[in-house]
């Protein structure tokens, strides 16, 4: 069960949202708000993975609430579905620039597409709801999307992938924007040129007359045969890189000639494929041209955001091989990991490594007032934020919702430990059965 705050006083729209969420058999529970203070309190203490804002609501200051979220994006990283009537799309997107956007839709479009939007969210909750916890459990994450021949699916899936990689600290803001552009361009190409068979001249004529290619795609989709076509989008995410494949149901095109042709002057269109090739690595098509694959390299051991409550604390730099703490020493502070890799040793044996994905170092001994249970050494240069117990307590007093987040973090750590213990126990039982069978 996941509670979804809905910031809207539109009774009719709220009822439609309630009914559609009811079809998820309790998986998604909408919580409706019409009071700003109540919304802020809910966001702070529930830390929802997803929220719905009706930005054109005259009774709600959604942009003001958005600013509250943007003041601490590290904590409020959950996805946002934005709804509006006739607001300027570019201005709204600019206001949401640093937010984790799932989709931004006009009210009419949102209501007609809500069932599909909720289906996409539910089918891909491992991307939207986990904030990279899979990286601790699995070395490789793979998945595949079957995308309808519709612009909504393109933007939603692009947002899901880029936000996940950013929130997992695998790519930075610049890489996120480049990947976002590349995915949009290549997915749109798959639909408009592959599935809808829109050639260069037809697109040019349409843009000169109407100005929005999405309208032409919708026009083409009035043909049931065109509308039934799909785009197949698969991904593989490892600690080092992400690899993507996009395939349409079109006949393909001469991609070699297109990439080899001289750069066109910027015009109405025609630069998308070349732009994508500049933003990602190893972009290549299959022989027929209806499938493209490419890669995006990941950053290593670097955090994209620092918790707001630690912004006043000083960063501490540790050099390669320098001891951060020693086993058995007293513990009256913890560290927030900004960048770098830390090696953990217990009784002189290597136990594990820590990176910004682990967020904190030494929080268990810190909270339990125990001595350090391990020695931690910097592997390469590391940047940490050192927080004393007194400072941490004072920070929690100022922002008590961080205490709830820390409790959730420790619960996740425990879940990871239990999963690892169960896996080791299974392996032990298999080895024991083989050993017993050999006797």
DSSP run (H or E) holding 296: strand 291-297
**pLDDT tens per residue across all 439 residues of the chain:** 689 999 999 999 999 999 999 999 989 999 999 889 999 999 988 888 899 999 999 999 999 999 988 888 888 888 899 999 988 777 887 888 778 889 999 999 999 999 999 988 888 777 765 554 444 445 677 888 888 888 788 888 899 899 888 888 889 989 999 999 999 999 998 998 899 998 888 888 888 887 778 888 888 999 999 999 999 999 998 888 999 999 999 988 777 776 666 555 444 455 667 788 889 999 989 988 899 999 999 988 788 888 888 877 889 999 999 999 999 888 788 899 999 999 999 998 998 888 887 778 887 777 776 788 899 999 999 999 998 888 888 888 888 888 777 777 777 667 767 777 787 788 878 887 777 776 6
Report which of 196, 193, 124, 195 is spatially closest to residue 163, judged by C-alpha positions.
Answer: 124
DSSP run (H or E) holding 429: helix 401-438
Give yes or no for a contact between 216 and 203, defined as CB atoms under 8 angstroms apart: yes
Q: How far apart are CA 360 and CA 301, in angstroms?
A: 13
pLDDT in tens, 330-388: 878 889 999 999 999 999 899 888 888 777 888 777 777 678 889 999 999 999 999 88
Helix, strand, coil tally for the chain in percent (to 5): 45, 25, 30
| Helix (H/G/I), strand (E/B), else coil: 88 | coil
Whose tokens are 């269109």? That residue is 269
Whose tokens are 């080791």? That residue is 424
Q: What is the pLDDT of residue 215?
A: 85
Q: Find how far residue 238's CA is from the centre of its chain.
A: 15
User: Is 207 exposed, middle or buried, given 0-12, 13-18 or 19+ CB atoms closer than 10 A?
Assistant: middle
Supply the mean pLDDT for the chain.
85
Q: How far apart are CA 128 and CA 109, in angstroms?
A: 22
Q: What residues contact 32, with CB distance under 8 A and at least 6 apart?
A: 6, 8, 14, 18
Q: How far apart are CA 412 and CA 404, in angstroms?
A: 12
DSSP secondary structure letters along 96-110: TTTS-EEEEEEHHHH
Report which of 4, 15, 89 is spatially closest to residue 53, judged by C-alpha positions.
Answer: 4
Q: What is the pLDDT of residue 78?
A: 85
Report which of 295, 278, 72 is spatially closest to residue 165, judged by C-alpha positions.
Answer: 295
Q: How far apart are CA 127 and CA 52, in angstroms?
A: 18
> Which tokens in the block code for residue 329?
């020493």
Q: What is the pLDDT of residue 132?
A: 46
Q: How far apart are CA 368 and CA 353, in angstroms?
A: 22
Q: How far apart are CA 322 and CA 220, in angstroms?
A: 63
Direct distance between the N- and C-terminal alpha carbons of the chain, in angstroms, rounded to an integer: 49
Using alpha carbons, list the distances in angstroms from residue 182 to 82, 200, 287, 300, 346.
Answer: 23, 19, 21, 22, 45
Q: What is the pLDDT of residue 262?
A: 58
Q: How far apart are CA 185 and CA 187, in angstroms?
A: 6
pLDDT in tens, 207-248: 888 777 888 888 899 999 999 999 999 999 888 899 999 999
Q: What is the pLDDT of residue 263?
A: 52
């Amino acid at each position: 069960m996941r509670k979804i705050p809905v910031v809207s006083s539109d009774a009719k729209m709220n009822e439609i949202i309630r009914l559609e969420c009811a079809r998820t058999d309790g998986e998604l529970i909408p919580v409706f708000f019409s009071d700003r203070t109540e919304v802020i309190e809910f966001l702070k203490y529930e830390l929802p993975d997803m929220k719905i804002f009706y930005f054109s609501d005259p009774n709600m200051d959604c942009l003001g609430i958005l600013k509250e979220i943007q003041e601490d994006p590290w904590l409020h990283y959950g996805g946002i579905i934005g709804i509006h009537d006739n607001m300027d799309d570019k201005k709204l997107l600019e206001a949401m620039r640093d937010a984790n956007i799932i989709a931004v839709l006009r009210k009419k479009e949102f209501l007609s597409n809500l069932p599909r939007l909720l289906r996409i969210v539910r089918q891909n909750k491992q991307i939207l709801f986990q904030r990279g916890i899979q990286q601790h459990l699995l070395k490789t994450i793979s998945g595949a999307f079957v995308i309808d021949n519709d612009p909504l699916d393109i933007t939603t899936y692009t947002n899901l992938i880029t936000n996940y990689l950013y929130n997992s600290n695998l790519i930075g803001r610049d890489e996120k924007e480049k990947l976002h552009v590349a995915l949009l361009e290549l997915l749109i190409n798959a639909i408009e040129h592959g599935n809808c068979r829109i050639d260069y001249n037809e697109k040019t004529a349409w843009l000169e007359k109407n100005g929005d290619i999405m309208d032409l795609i919708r026009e083409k989709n009035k043909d049931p045969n065109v509308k039934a076509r799909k785009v197949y989008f698969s991904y593989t995410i490892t600690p080092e890189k992400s690899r993507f494949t996009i395939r349409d149901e079109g006949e393909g095109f001469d991609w070699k000639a297109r990439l080899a042709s001289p750069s066109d002057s910027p015009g109405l269109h025609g630069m998308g494929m070349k732009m994508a090739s500049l933003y990602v690595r190893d972009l290549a098509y299959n022989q027929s041209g209806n499938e493209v694959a490419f890669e995006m390299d990941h950053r290593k051991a670097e955090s994209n955001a620092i918790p707001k409550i630690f912004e006043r604390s000083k960063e501490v730099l540790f050099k390669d091989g320098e001891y951060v703490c020693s086993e058995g020493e007293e513990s009256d502070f913890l560290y927030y990991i900004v960048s770098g890799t830390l090696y953990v040793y217990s009784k002189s044996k290597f136990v594990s490594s820590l990176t910004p994905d682990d967020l904190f170092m030494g929080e268990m001994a810190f909270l339990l007032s125990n001595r350090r249970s391990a020695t931690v050494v910097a592997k390469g240069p590391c940047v940490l934020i050192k927080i004393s117990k007194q400072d941490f307590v004072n920070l929690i007093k100022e922002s008590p919702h961080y205490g709830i987040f820390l409790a959730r973090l420790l619960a996740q750590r425990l879940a990871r430990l239990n999963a690892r213990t169960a896996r080791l126990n299974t392996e032990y039982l298999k080895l024991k059965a083989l050993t017993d069978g050999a006797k």
